[in-house]
Structure 1
């Protein structure tokens, strides 16, 4: 604004008091494009330390308690050296967009602590910027880690690469470790609910974040012991009268660990060291390692499948922790999710046979002459990582085929994972199906029975 008696539109209160048209600063480049201000347009000179009251114009005195036109309001605090109030106010828009240089940002923020008018305007501008640019989530795309590693390895292949069948475990443990890194002290004591299906009904157990890590560590310990690494479970933790398979049974190991080992924040360090040792050992293990049998109580899995099982459980329990602290947690990358789904589909005949021995599933049948292939069920999993599997219904060692399919079940991939984790009841699984209803029911219950604590 110009004063009423200023010749040629000059503001009488500009610091230099010079004549001529008012100075308009040139367009300012972004902070990252170069220095500011440009050399041809230096900042205006600083105000005098004690300029005193401005001289009245045309003999009209300045009313007490007001400021002449063009000057800062009386509630404006001191301005940083080298910056006028008007210049700082003109920078508020750039400051709200985070486009100021470091020097300008410091000057503006120092001024905002003393000038209520500019502080109010800065808040309005910052709110407007928030409407224009909604904040993005802090979580990274699950595929980002794989894409970065793939890009790096394409330029310089690893001398000792991680086996492809171990990459889901490597990725899921890394994601859980990143989640744990950001936990506050109180969140480590948050109650975490573990859920599974015991073959007849849903079961659950409440522990803490440290308890979950203790559980993951001791079950990973069966893999570690197979590879010749130290077993985190104390040799005397499991009672001798618990049975020959109790030493390798995941539930028995977990219960024994919770009674003998601390389950506080220190569990993260032990778990991290163990997972690093597992990845490093299988990377150097050679061709024999993938087929090593890993005991799981009454059954065993080859090492390559045991790593997929551990990756799946790590993802499931990371989701349990995230639910306990109200934090979003996404699914694995699609290629890793497909491997986990494939393992679950391959284990369905074994689970179904176990339920049949316990009298919980319909009896096996045969088609045609003795020795002919039995029935199959077409399992269609939709979404990322999905695919088609033909599950043999009558013999775990048989191969399923489309020709002998008597039923068809279609599920979303994440829904099937929740079913296999015991988080969804078989009767409540959102599955489309047709064909033999008894076969459909048996397979859904067999999928839920894959879960454990």
Structure 2
């Protein structure tokens, strides 16, 4: 079949090349040789000329180099110089080590306040039909934080040794267990709240010598055919969810329900704060055992925990005096509601505030006019004192006033601790 189309002229070819239209091979427009041979090699790019800097300039750049703040050309010049100059190489190594000391190790955990902020933001947009009571929010948050810490633990971490610490008869006491053993301990003591709410007792039918936290824990540990394993996480977490759900459904009217700890009772709203406090303390024990950072609770929750301990101190002081350790001769009793000798407890930092602790009677009223002593502590430090993790005589950052009163209150705070 004949093709009557005209042959392209040289002008047509040139126009197509100028417009970027592909042209047939052999015409030189695509870089090939006009005789159909291989393409001509592209001209080689010339390497960038290295910077040539004086020694004093290179030495002045060492600090920026250690901080990785040099331009690429300067970095290359400095590193080439370090291979030839021993004095600068030593200085560069010293600066790089110093930079490493200035950088704080990253904590891979989310900020403990992030969960609260996210929930508050969500709840503002869509309020819950059944909200968690304020007095149970700290327990909800701390159990969630501990569960997040546990979720990636392997068998080795679950069997890592943990030493529980508390004060008994004004003496530091310890008990050795494992990470799994700590979770079993939290499970059995949280069970006291579960029983008060009519939920299942995690001990089942296991007999405990006494209905106290330590006796219940020992009964659980003794009944296990082998040391607790990671399997204890599931019933512990299920129970925490059940507790939060149940107190949410019962609402604020259940807050004054009594929860028995064997030797004493707490109203439910204080018992939930107590359980949040112990969950955080033992989470720190676990994190320390596996060498992992763990932050204190949010300021709002920490303040509630400090407030609970401060409110318990007058009764603890009275119990200690009755049992003998702190019974001063001729102590003046104060009528219920009347002002009496007081110690000002100042908590600094997150969760901070001030509390006037009546010294002469748990029914007395704290009074600034009758203040005889002043103690200042960090919020986390005070909680660790109340947990038996800090020696009482080393706890207070600042002390002014009656030394005997200060000693009484610090020892009473430490005696709040238990296994």
Distance 1:368 1:254 in 2: 39
Aligned match for 2:320, one of 355, 374, 382: 355
CA contact (8 A) 1:382 1:410 kept: yes
Distance (whole Å) between structure 1 residues aligned to residue 391 and residue 239 of structure 2:
33
For the residue of structure 1 that corresponds to 2:283, the secondary structure is helix
Q: 1:158 to 1:367 in 2, by over 3 A?
A: same
The alignment status of 1:177 with 2:142, answered yes or no, reads: no
Residue in structure 2 matched with residue 418 of structure 1 by the alignment: 384
Q: Using the alignment, how far apart are the partners of 1:440 and 1:214 within structure 2?
A: 36
> Structure 1: how far apart are the matches of 2:378 and 2:299?
13
Is 2:367 the partner of 1:393? no
Deviation at 1:366, TM superposition (A): 2.5
Deviations 1:400-431 (A, max 9, x none): 12122111111111111111110111111133
2: CA distance, partners of 1:451 / 1:260:
25
Q: CA RMSD in A?
A: 3.0
Distance 1:311 1:225 in 2: 17
Q: Show the counterpart of 2:396.
A: 430
User: Structure 2 CA distance, aligned partners of 1:422 and 1:150?
Assistant: 33
Structure 2: distance between partners of 1:295 and 1:307: 12
Shift of 1:56: 9.4
TM norm structure 1: 0.68
Query: 2:248 maps to what in 1?
Result: 283
284, 307, 329: which one pairs with 1:319?
284
Asked if the contact 2:338/2:364 (under 8 Å) is kept, the reply is no
Offset from partner CA, 1:372-424 (integer Å, 9 cap, x none)? 54311111111110100011111112221212211111111111111111011
Residue 292 in 1 paired to residue 257 in 2? Answer: yes
Q: Work out whether residues 181 and 228 of structure 2, in 8 Å CA contact, stay in contact via their aligned partners in 1.
A: yes
Distance (whole Å) between structure 2 residues aligned to residue 369 and residue 173 of structure 1:
41
| Bigger share in helix | 2
Higher mean C-alpha displacement, 170-179 vs 133-142: 133-142
Give 1:173 shift.
0.2
Q: Give the alignment's TM-score, normalised by structure 2.
A: 0.74
Offset of residue 351 of structure 1: 1.4
Partner SS, residue 401 of structure 1: strand
| Structure 2 Cα separation of the partners of residues 204 and 17 of structure 1 | 91
Q: Which residue of 2 aligns with 1:377?
A: 343
In structure 2, how many angstroms separate the alpha carbons of the residues matched to 1:17 and 1:230?
90
Q: Secondary structure at the match of 1:157?
A: coil
3-state SS, counterpart of residue 314 of structure 1: helix
Q: Which residue of 1 aligns with 2:185?
A: 215
Question: Within 2, Cα distance between the matches of 1:274 and 1:287?
Answer: 20
Decide whether the 8 Å contact of 1:362 with 1:442 is kept in 2. no
Kindly tell me: are residues 299 and 383 of structure 1, through their superposed partners in 2, closer, same or farther at Cα, counting changes over 3 Å? same
Q: 1:408 — aligned with what? A: 374
Corresponding residue for residue 346 of structure 1: 311
1:146 has 2:116 as partner: yes
Which of 198, 201, 216 is 1:253 aligned to? Answer: 216
Mapped contact 1:166–1:308 kept (Cα < 8 A): yes
Tell me: CA distance 1:375–1:281, structure 2 relative to 1, closer, same or farther (3 Å): same
Listed as ranges, the matches of 1:258-269 within 5 Å are 258-261=221-224, 263-269=228-234
Q: Which stretches in structure 1 are left out of the alignment for 5+ residues? A: 1-15, 23-53, 58-67, 71-129
**Separation (CA, whole Å) in 2 of partners of 1:17 and 1:193:** 85
* 2:417 is aligned with 1:447: no
Runs of 4 or more consecutive aligned structure 1 residues displaced over 3 Å after TM superposition? 16-20, 54-57, 133-137, 367-373
Unaligned runs of 5+ in 2: 1-24, 32-37, 46-98
Change (3 A) 1:397 1:371: closer
Contact 2:133–2:251 (CA<8 Å) still a contact in 1? no
- Indicate which of 183, 189, 192 corresponds to 2:159: 189
Cα distance change on mapping 1:400 and 1:266 into 2, 3 Å:
same
Contact 2:338 2:365 in 1 (8 A): no
The residue aligned with 1:118 is none
How many residues get paired? Answer: 331
Rate the CA distance shift 1:399–1:185 in 2: closer, same or farther, 3 A: same
**What is the CA deviation profile of residues 187-217 of structure 1, one whole-angstrom value per residue up to 9, with x for unaligned ones?**
1110011111113210111111110011001
Q: 2:270 aligns with which of 305, 312, 329?
A: 305
